[in-house]
Amino acid sequence: MRSKQIGKNLFLIELETGGFKNLICSYVIKGAKIFIVESGPTSSVPNVVSGLKELDVRFEDVQYVAITHVHLDHGGGVGTLLKFLPNAKVIVHPRGMPHLINPERLWLSAQAVLGFVSEIFGKPEPVPKERIIPVTEGSFDLNGDAKLTVIETLGHASHNLSFHESLNGGVFPGDAAGTYFPEFDVVMPTSPPPFRLEAALASLDKLISLNPTALYYSHFGKASNGVQRLKDYKAQLQLWAKIAGEGVRENQSLEEIRDRIISEDKVMCQLADYLKSHIIYSKTALGNSVQGFIDDAKQTQAKEGS
Ligand SMILES: [Zn+2]
């Protein structure tokens, strides 16, 4: 089984992208209408399809595929997935929409940033314009009075949306609340360039104000104590920003700043060995996430003239 029930009318599908478990998942809300949250990348669309079959979802009944943002690991596969779902429309931030219609530029930049990891995710296929619903706010009916509400949560990307579902009171944050490691029950920053700290913190305040019971991470899975986790994540971002800011002022290298983060962030001490030995996370989490803080600190310091 690659699917499991995690709440009322709510299911998780393990995508096992590139053969990796606990890396990326999609979610299915089975109400009067059927919603999928996150297509995942192109290479694991066959696993979304087999998960839907396990859940007895009829393809023609899927109304919406909501993607938190267009990065390959979240929305890269949506063009391919739509070929199976004749009636589904895609919910996406308006800034992501052009990249769904024509994914060429997105693919080139993903190859530059992610290197071999982009090949593991696979090249996105285009989405027909008429099948896209661009939104930054508003809500969609789920079941009876229940709704899926859209929240604009920028910072990780300039086009990250989160979704709140009122059936269970949980939130799908995309990458706005970090990466959750269920094996360790901890979260670490997902902050590749062009990460924007101020926007990320403001987004977390928006999510905290919703008082979510649980968070449904795209990486990876459901975690309880939603509000506390969001507050902890804010504090963690502030710690990383402090270390990166000092490191930039002192002209430290990426490796020096990374190692200081690993030694000062309790979560990172715990995760470091695991991340270093993980083919994908050693590239994305350790390298790119620290680089995002360095770039943001440089920009902030340039503005301050310090
Ligand atoms: Zn991601």
CA 194 to ligand 1 centroid distance, Å: 14
CA 158 to ligand 1 centroid distance, Å: 14
CA-angle at 179, arms to 177 and 181, nearest 5°: 130
CA 270 to ligand 1 centroid distance, Å: 21
- 46, with CB counted inside 10 A (0-12, 13-18, 19+), is middle
Residue pair 257/242 in contact by the 8 Å Cβ criterion: no
CA 144 to ligand 1 centroid distance, Å: 32
How far is Cα 236 from Cα 187, in angstroms, rounded to an integer?
9
CA atoms in the 13 A half-sphere facing the CB of 153:
29
Question: Beta partners for 92?
Answer: 134
174: left (phi over 0), alpha (psi -120 to 50) or beta: left
- For residues 170-192, give the mean pLDDT: 97
Place of tokens 């024509």: 102
Query: 20-41 pLDDT, tens per residue?
Result: 999 999 999 998 889 999 999 9
How far is Cα 41 from Cα 48, in angstroms, rounded to an integer?
10
CA 259 to ligand 1 centroid distance, Å: 23
CA 250 to ligand 1 centroid distance, Å: 30
Query: 108-163 pLDDT, tens per residue?
Result: 999 998 899 999 999 999 999 999 999 999 999 998 889 999 999 999 999 999 99
Q: What is the pTM of this model?
A: 0.96
Question: Beta partners for 133?
Answer: 91
CA 217 to ligand 1 centroid distance, Å: 9
Query: 213-246 pLDDT, tens per residue?
Result: 999 999 999 999 999 999 999 999 999 999 999 9
CA 263 to ligand 1 centroid distance, Å: 25
Structure-block tokens of residue 214: 């649980």
CA 195 to ligand 1 centroid distance, Å: 13
Pairing label, strands 62-66, 89-92? parallel
- Confidence at residue 306, expressed as pLDDT on a 0 to 100 scale: 56
Reduced 3-state DSSP string for 270-295 = HHHHHHHHCCCHHHHHHHHHHHHHHH
CA 75 to ligand 1 centroid distance, Å: 9
Query: Of all residues in the chain, what percent carry a pLDDT higher than 90?
Result: 92
- Is the pLDDT at 101 greater than 80? The verdict is yes
- Residue count (the chain): 306
What's the whole-number average pLDDT of the chain?
96
H/E run at residue 4: strand 3-7
Query: 243-286 pLDDT, tens per residue?
Result: 999 999 999 999 999 999 999 999 999 999 999 899 888 878 88
CA 272 to ligand 1 centroid distance, Å: 19
Residue pair 294/247 in contact by the 8 Å Cβ criterion: yes
CA 161 to ligand 1 centroid distance, Å: 12
Strands across the sheet containing 161-165: 138-143, 146-152, 161-165, 170-172, 214-217, 221-224
CA 190 to ligand 1 centroid distance, Å: 7
